[in-house]
Structure 1
């Protein structure tokens, strides 16, 4: 299920402003890749290009290629909606649909994609997805209740269940723990470690300890100054990035000397 992503010569624009410049990156399947760097350096912008969500912003565009197992996701023949089915997204703040039950939230993406599904298959998919998000045992007796009634950490795991219900190949997570308490954060981190056996996972985080705990590879982004585009400074195995990075800027950021 998991797929490899190759990014080549990627430049990202908002109108005439170049937000991110010249990214070259390989994202390995069945692994967790963390993006770190100071605010405004383009981490989340770059993350959104991996499932073509960047282009929904008026005037936004990209140059370069994003290939998933050799297929350019930005080729003219590729449907952006199909890309977003294969590359799921979990956002910074939990966003269950407030008028839907827990079960309806899980099935929302499937139904949005006009997939016909029998009642029995729907029940099986709800259970399978909630188990995959380590949420089933906590909610199995209240599936008809609103998803918005869950705690923050449970809501985020519900959003992960909704994302994996459509059977994507890649999961993107944009600071998925920033709005959560430490116990809920630990639950999400444990879940990420479990999910990587089936998915390619990319996570943006400002938490250095979190990047060190959950990721196999870490990419450090930076920018030279206000108005300058963000750039990928280096990417390597997480242990290497945190112990002996190649670039002084990476070491300064990780050690807290700037950022």
Structure 2
């Protein structure tokens, strides 16, 4: 699968409130795309529309199209549960299931999807997923211990292993390092670079240095004033966004003149 995402004229609402307006973009397959911008400009809200998590919030709705390989996620008859299998999400704070072991955490999504799996296949999937999240060597001798007993950085990598165990095409990450120390942050950034060989990765980050380090393309979101909808100001190759942006607002934000 190429797993390209095309967003066409997307407007996002919470009830009557217009949260994000008129987003058009292409997210390239097997790449890392980062969204930056000040707090409250709609980055995370937009990210959640890419796997239909936005509509879980009461009053959450969208107008427009989100196409994955040409198929509209919001088309008639599309099951949002199937969308979330194809497009995984890793949240801001590590959230392993506290009553589950490391192994059970990895398998949680698979079992939630009612997939029958043999013990041998489960063991193989756990190892492959933990290796994919660069966590296997650290936890292989304590798979039956609680996932909540791991360090913060290990917990976040466990959540990434849980996400990739269901074999998605796309992985979304909402500020995946904001609760982590610098060493754990580096481990996650290295992992993001590795994941793009198999997945289309989209991250939201407030850390502009992180966006510059890990992403191939960057989108800058902004809003005119409090209460106004957020907008995608521009999106381009990351090197261009940080070194020669097309819009003055982007340059002002990156240089620290506002935001």
- TM-score calculated relative to the size of structure 2: 0.99
Q: Which residue of 2 aligns with 1:159?
A: 159
Q: Are the aligned partners of 1:94 and 1:159 in contact in 2 as well (CA < 8 Å)?
A: yes
1:41 aligns with 2:36: no
Distance 1:178 1:23 in 2: 25
Q: Are the aligned partners of 1:170 and 1:200 in contact in 2 as well (CA < 8 Å)?
A: yes
Q: Which residue of 1 aligns with 2:209?
A: 209
Q: Which residue of 2 aligns with 1:112?
A: 112
Q: Are the aligned partners of 1:2 and 1:170 in contact in 2 as well (CA < 8 Å)?
A: no
Greater than 3 Å deviation, 4+ residue runs: none
Q: Are the aligned partners of 2:175 and 2:205 in contact in 1 as well (CA < 8 Å)?
A: yes
Q: Are the aligned partners of 1:2 and 1:198 in contact in 2 as well (CA < 8 Å)?
A: no
Distance 2:102 2:210 in 1: 28
Q: Which residue of 2 aligns with 1:13?
A: 13
Q: Which residue of 1 aligns with 2:25?
A: 25
Deviations 1:157-176 (CA, angstroms, capped at 9, x unpaired)? 00000000000000000000
Deviation at 1:2, TM superposition (A): 5.1
Q: CA RMSD in A?
A: 0.5
Q: Which residue of 2 aligns with 1:52?
A: 52
Aligned length: 259
Deviation at 1:133, TM superposition (A): 0.1
Distance 1:107 1:39 in 2: 34
Q: Which residue of 2 aligns with 1:62?
A: 62
Distance 2:13 2:59 in 1: 8
- For structure 2, the 5+ residue unaligned runs are none
Deviation at 1:76, TM superposition (A): 1.3
Distance 2:158 2:248 in 1: 40
- For structure 1, the 5+ residue unaligned runs are none
Distance 2:248 2:52 in 1: 32
Q: Which residue of 1 aligns with 2:85?
A: 85
SS at match of 1:164: helix
- TM-score calculated relative to the size of structure 1: 0.99
